[in-house]
Amino acid sequence: MSAIVKPMITLKEICTEAETIRLTNQNSLGDKIVSDIYVNAEIIASLAVTRKISEKPSLDSRLDDILTSRLFGFPIMLLLLSTVFWLTITGANIPSEMIGNALFAFQDQLVLWFNLAGAPDWLTGVLVLGMYRSLAWVVAVMLPPMAIFFPLFTLLEDLGYLPRIAFNLDNMFKKCQACGKQILTMCMGFGCNAAGIVACRIIDSPRERLIAVLTNNFVPCNGRFPTLIAIATIFMGGIVASEYQTAIASLVITILVMLGIAITFAVSWALSHTILKGETSSLVLELPPYRKPQIGAIIYRSIIDRTIFVLKRAMIMAAPAGAITWILANVYIGELSMIAHLAAWLQPLGYAIGLDGFILLAFILGLPANEIVVPILLMSYLSSGQILEVDSLNQLREILISQGWTWLTAVCTLLFCLLHWPCTTTLLSAYKETGSKKWTLLTFLIPTVIGFAVCFTVAQSARLLGLV
């Protein structure tokens, strides 16, 4: 008996047949399938689950009544945010100093070893005074605040509170054709803009995700806070009596942060109506029950996943930056170091936007890491061969004033610090997340252009009005 061989059916033919069936059913089979699965789930659940209905509202419900109420919702959010900031800033001071001292002490040891090994001065300079010193600085300044901020943020996440923030603020984002979850990426950006950009994955729509990525840098990260605080304290705080100094400085920082948030909304709106016009946004947000946080897991997740990840990337960027900066500061062309030459070249542009050539150069050289902007500035001003920090704010004020700083310089520096290009780690994250050179370029350009425009306007207006 001969075997009957059936002709091989190809996958393609089956697909076509499936298409036909699907269309015959008016494309409703997909819905039916989901419905049917739920019917099965209901049957199983009815057999396996029993519950006692309680009459009184649950703790969750009562908490939400307060945290999302018209009266308390917003104030509590602001209060929580300020508390997190305050804890991060004050808590980080002493550890930063300790780490800094330890690492710089080790630097002296390194110099000793290099000398003993007979290394040429320039090599010691590049590797120890440049590379190592910058690394040490970045670690000392970056690590403590992040080690406080990220655990606090992760704590709020574990508690289940973060979706409530998105719930409360979604309406404002909707008006900009963006997603309420963007506020969470902005909060992350306060810790580190690179982490903020990676956090944009929580936004489902690609268009809204891009908006969040492009605007994340308007939120000042932990690395920029020392700069903002130092300048705000010196200049704004210096105007009033010393007991009000910290209060005034805090007020200035708050205003700057609010300004950053306002610009975020404005730019999000603009993007939605120009280059990122597209399908309307939508929100489907689960509000999970409040849960008791697991402290151990929080510390682990925030330290290993977030802090160390960011630190690693920053160190990779800061090391070569330190080397380059040392070279520029110690290689002389004629009478002046290369830094001095570059600063002179940048002076006209810097002056136009209310800064000076040295400040602008410091921001440029601080591209790899925002933390080294002030040290580079001081190094340039004092023509020292290595980045340095001064011991007291008074000393800092004297140096700046002697270099010609006015209140306008301080204001414009603060504004430029808030509104300038993202650091290289952030740009790299943007590239990895968007997969596109075009969007990465825009991540660089948008804050930069706005920064220049705002500072230019402020500087020229102040001068025209004779206020300086």
Partner 1 sequence: MDTLPTNIPLSTINIGSICQIVSLNLQGLLRRRILDLGMVPGTSVQCIRKSPAGDPIAYLVRDTLIALRNEDARQITVTLL
Partner 2 sequence: MDKLSIEEHRRMLREHFGITTTPGQFTVALAGNPNVGKSTVFNALTGLHQHTGNWPGKTVDNAQGSFTYLDSSFLMVDLPGTYSILAHTVEEQVARDFICFGKPDATLVVLDATCLERNLNLALQVMEITPKVIVCVNLMDEAVKKNITINITALQKELGVPVIPTAARNGIGLGDLRHALYEMSIGLALTNPRQIRYSSEVETAIQELAPKISRCIGHTLSPRWVALRLLDGDQAFIDSITHYLDLENTLQELAV
Q: Which of 171, 383, 394, 457 binds partner 1 (CB under 8 A)?
A: 171
Query: Using CA of residue 369, residue 447, residue 146, residue 436, what is the dihedral sign?
Result: negative
Among 312, 328, 315, 318, which Cα is nearest to 125's?
328
Sign of CA dihedral 198, 200, 202, 205: negative
Taking CB under 8 A as the criterion, the residue among 3, 4, 9, 117 binding partner 2 is 9
- Which partner in partner 2, partner 1, none is near 112 (CB below 5 to 8 A by kind)? none
| Contact set for partner 2, span 416-445 (CB under 8 A) | 432-433, 435
Are 221 and 192 within 8 A, CB to CB?
yes
Residues 255-314 that bind partner 1 (CB under 8 A): 279-280, 282-288
- Contact pick of 57, 58, 123, 262 for partner 2 (by CB under 8 A): 58
Q: How far is the CB of 38 from partner 1 (least distance, A)?
A: 5
Nearer residue to partner 2 within complex by CB, 54 or 274:
54
305 interacts with partner 2 by CB under 8 A: yes
CA-CA distances (angstroms) from residue 106 to 114, 129, 333? Answer: 12, 12, 32
Q: Which residue has the tokens 């039916």?
A: 32
Judged by CB under 8 A, the stretch of 110-118, 298-306, 334-342, 445-453 that binds partner 2 is 298-306
Q: Does 19 bind partner 2 (CB under 8 A)?
A: yes
Gap between the Cα atoms of 314 and 337, Å rounded: 27
Query: Is 28 a binder of partner 1 (CB under 8 A)?
Result: no
The contact pattern for partner 2, residues 315-344, with x = CB under 8 A and - = no contact, is ------------------------------
Tell me if 119 sits within 8 A of 144, measured CB to CB.
no
Taking the CA atoms of residue 243, residue 248, residue 254 and residue 259 in that order, the dihedral angle to the nearest 10 degrees is -170
Q: Does 57 bind partner 2 (CB under 8 A)?
A: no
User: Could you tell me the smallest distance in angstroms from the CB atom of residue 282 to partner 1?
Assistant: 5
Q: What residues have CB less than 8 Å from 241, skipping those under 6 apart?
A: none
Buried-state track 379-394, b at ≥16 Cβ within 10 A, e below 16: bbbeeeebbebbeebe
The minimum distance between CB 385 and partner 1, in angstroms, equals 56
- According to CB under 8 A, which residues from 32 to 91 bind partner 1? 34-35, 38, 61, 64-65, 68-70, 73-74
The angle, 0 to 180 degrees and rounded to 10, between the axes of the packed helices 162-174 and 245-273 is 60
Q: Which is nearer to partner 1, 243 or 286 (CB)?
A: 286
The two structure tokens encoding residue 436: 């596109």
Please select the residue that binds partner 2; options are 1, 3, 4, 51, rule is CB under 8 A: 51
Size, binding site for partner 1 by CB under 8 A = 32
Q: What is the closest distance, in whole angstroms, from the C-beta atom of residue 183 to partner 2 in the complex?
A: 18
Closest to 407 (Cα-Cα) out of 282, 234, 209: 234
Q: Using an 8 Å Cβ cutoff, are 88 and 302 in contact?
A: no
The residues that touch partner 1, with contacts defined as CB under 8 A, are 30-31, 34-35, 38, 61, 64-65, 68-70, 73-74, 163, 167-168, 170-172, 174, 180, 204-205, 279-280, 282-288
